[in-house]
Structure 1
Amino acid sequence: MDDIDRPDRGAVAAGCLSFLFAMLPEQRTETYQQTMVSGCDRRLRPGSDGLNVYGAAVHPRAAIPLSSCTCSSPSERAFTAGKRVFEQLRCTTDRSVTVPNVLTRVRDTIRRCLELPPDTEIALTPSGTDVELLALALIAGTDDREIVNIIVGPHEVGSGTLRAASACHYDTRLPRGCEAVIGEPVNAAFASRVTIERVDVRDQRGRILAAAEVDIAVTEMVAAAVARGAQVVLH
């Protein structure tokens, strides 16, 4: 079985590389490892020791991997699969055909592994934090009502999640390479429509709250938002 068609981060690496090649100029001189940290924010940028803020490298290394919702050094299989796609994209004579084909294979792999219906639409983003902005953008396009974004477990998610969920920049570097100011709106009119509500899943002593207690809090917030005519995003 082809590495990119297996349920491994190699498929994700292929998707990221495809986006980068779709956005960047035709003449490329970057190495594979340099390209892998392009199109990202500061979190993935390696420091002088070759590691990013998560303690992960761009290449495989002997370290205990972190959970799937954060960052780890790539496995040997993922690194090799990504490098093969890198060479494929670098050498292609028609990126307008090659890039969509690779992305289609990535999405098909995800649908198959998760047993999703074939018509399920899949969006690939630079990070989970960026998905917050995508979810807001999707619901914001339907009308101009207030958007109440309910974040369950705000202390259990990434440090940039609340800013992104507010339609604000969470890092000084944007995926496309431009600079931004942390906390400033991605779009002022868009951000002005967003209200953040938080639901903690722990008490003041750090103990996990009962699921029923969390459900009640969420239900009350959703009901209050709907009653005043707002749209609701539940995270």
Structure 2
Amino acid sequence: MTQIAEISLHEWMTLGGDDRIVLDPVTGLNRYSSTPFPRDVLAFASSTANDLSPEADAFLKECFPGGARHLEAGDAYARCLDGLRDTIRAAYRLTGDVDVFFAPSGTDLEYVGLLAAAGRKPGGIVNYLLGADEVGSGCIHSAAGRYFADSTALDVRVSPGSDVAGLPPIEMADAPVRTDEGEAHDSAALAASLEHSIAAARD
């Protein structure tokens, strides 16, 4: 097994996640054809599928001047995340008691919302997914409290679509952001529709 002291920061960033960030040994690209290091290509996608920018690369090297070998205990990484949390709170003028969560993708972040709501009501959770046909394909699973990939970040093999243990009953509701003709719904009308549906679900 490769020791963390022997790998670069770029290689380290491909560890501890699921199959989406594993690099192909032939192409050096992940499932999204992106890399954990800057390249001389013009490419733009969602946050999950972007190459690491030169600015982000410089930031990481500033945060971790000793490279990956200092990250094994996790203290340096934890301090960096705490610093980012403080930056985000300051940018949005949030108080220090507001929690800030990080996740590999929006698909994973669905679990955070479910855990925050779990146990508040005996009937379970109704989770509204905005624009299910415009988000990552795995969101329809994670928003319903199910696994969306073949493995977890801890390299546990799972079956996509199977329930994540420990969550209450979950009903996922789709909230389309466009009409059948492709026109975007008015934000105020969409918010009003959601408020009506949420009020009905709580009754």
TM-score by length of 1: 0.73
- Partners of 1:132 and 1:46 lie apart in 2 by 25
Aligned residue pairs, count = 201
CA apart distance, 1:169: 0.5
- Of residues 169, 179, 198, the one that matches 1:222 is 198
**Structure 1 vs Structure 2 CA RMSD:** 2.7
Give 1:208's aligned residue: 184
User: Residue 158 of structure 2 aligns with which residue?
Assistant: 180
Cα displacement (A) at 1:78 = 1.1
Could you tell me which amino acid in structure 2 is paired with residue 41 of structure 1?
Answer: D
Give me the whole-angstrom Cα distance separating, in 2, the residues matched to 1:210 and 1:94: 48
2:89–2:96 CA contact under 8 A, matched in 1:
yes
The partner residue of 1:43 within 10, 14, 20 is 20
Q: 1:30 to 1:180 in 2, by over 3 A?
A: farther
SS in 2 for 1:57: coil
Assess, with a 3 A threshold, how the Cα gap between structure 1 residues 93 and 40 changes in structure 2: closer, same or farther.
closer
The structural deviation recorded for 1:110 is 2.0
Shift of 1:109: 2.1
The reply on whether 1:198 has 2:171 as its aligned counterpart is no
For 1:127, the equivalent position in structure 2 comes to 105
Equivalent residue, structure 1, for 2:82: 104
Q: Gapped runs of 5+ residues in structure 2?
A: none
Q: CA deviation at 1:126?
A: 2.2
Q: Residue 60 of structure 1: CA displacement?
A: 0.4
Identity of aligned residues (%): 26
**Runs of 5+ unmatched residues, structure 1:** 1-24, 228-235
Deviation at 1:149, TM superposition (A): 0.3
In the superposition, the TM-score normalised over structure 2's length comes to 0.83
Structure with bigger RCO (C-alpha 8 Å, 6+ apart): 1
**Residue identity opposite 2:132 in structure 1:** P
Give the whole-Å Cα distance in 2 for the aligned partners of 1:121 and 1:216. Answer: 27
Correspondent of 1:64 among 30, 37, 42 = 42
> 2:17·2:154 contact (CA, 8 Å) conserved in 1?
yes
